Amino acid sequence: MSSIRALIVDDSSVMRKIVERCLRQAGLDLTQVHEASNGVEALALMSEHQFDLILTDINMPVMDGLEFVKQVQQMESAKNTPIVMITTEGGEKHVVEALSHGAKGYIRKPFTPDQVKEHVVPVLRS
């Protein structure tokens, strides 16, 4: 798989680092990784950079992952960028809503590098 520019959106800096590490351990060639702590910060980064993959938490302050997905789908330059949601077990309703608004997949917390690979690689190939 060619080099990947990724955006990781989560209000926990520790979780953002865990996601990045799992992506690398899953064998993805990350050439750029940008981080945002909420949807507003992520949208600002998207106005400056192009991404091949976005991974976003659902529950965040300021702008949550659901609203972020909706906003990305309104952006002509980014609406085809694959988005993978990161959720806790109780987020099933939110995952279904995110998928209906354009997210391409989801990963449940806690996760392993193998689970990340299982859910992210097919999204990148589609």
Q: What is the pLDDT of residues 62-85, one digit of tens each?
A: 988 889 999 998 888 887 899 999
- pTM (predicted TM-score): 0.91
Query: What pLDDT, on a 0 to 100 scale, did the predictor assign at position 108?
Result: 86
pLDDT band at 91 (very low <50, low <70, confident <90, very high): low
What average pLDDT score do residues 79-102 get? 81
One-letter amino acid of 100: S
Query: What pLDDT, on a 0 to 100 scale, did the predictor assign at position 55?
Result: 96
Query: What pLDDT, on a 0 to 100 scale, did the predictor assign at position 89?
Result: 60
Would you say 45 and 75 are in contact if contact means Cβ atoms under 8 Å apart? no
Q: pLDDT tens digits for 21-51?
A: 999 998 899 999 999 999 999 999 999 999 9
CATH 3.40.50.2300 fits 4-125, yes or no: yes
- Residue 84, SS3? strand
Query: What pLDDT, on a 0 to 100 scale, did the predictor assign at position 1?
Result: 52
Q: Which of 108, 103, 118 is nearest to 53 (CA)?
A: 103
Query: What pLDDT, on a 0 to 100 scale, did the predictor assign at position 87?
Result: 83
